[in-house]
Structure 1
């Protein structure tokens, strides 16, 4: 497993007064550091250790989000009235419901 393919993020933690490194595929892990670079290096090392440990114990290792294939489709349940309003809006704009919702999500 290539740990470079995981989704990392560094943000400021006002509560801790430090930068925090995070990994989307391992939401329970984090690393605090004085600089963003140190936070990124720290979370990458923690993830690498975790993946190594999981593999050694024959545990399933999360697949990186970047390596997954996506169909471009997903279902969303909404109230019937909201569905009706979206259909009306799409009709008024002369576009499909799919195109209307896709553009709203992109905004």
Structure 2
């Protein structure tokens, strides 16, 4: 496990008037800073500290999203009427429901 493989992001926080560093694998953690570089360094430090604490206490550590295997399949529950409408749209377009849903998600 390498914390540098985690998914980090820096965005602007208008509420705080600062850059906000985030880590997708630890959604409850963040770091505010005046510059994007400082926000990235800050969230990296916080993640490192949290991971060290988790290791010391024997807690499971989240796997980096970049290292996970994705099958390309997931299930979504939708209301029956929406299912019917999507199936009808797919039939009218001459495509499978899977292809229609994939295209809609990609849009």
The TM-score, its normalising length taken from structure 2, stands at 0.96
1:1-107 alignment to 2 at 5 Å?
A: 1-107=1-107
Q: After TM superposition, what 4+ stretches of structure 1 lie above 6 angstroms from structure 2?
A: none
Shift of 1:69: 0.8
Size of the aligned set, in residue pairs, is: 107
Q: CA RMSD in A?
A: 0.8
Q: Distance in 1 between matches of 2:61 and 2:88?
A: 45
The TM-score, its normalising length taken from structure 1, stands at 0.96
2:22 aligned counterpart, secondary structure:
strand
2:43 aligned counterpart, secondary structure:
helix
Shift of 1:9: 0.8
Shift of 1:62: 0.7
Q: Distance in 2 between matches of 1:62 and 1:5?
A: 11
TM-superposition CA deviations, 1:15-61 (whole Å, max 9, x none) = 11110100111111111100001100110111011111111111111
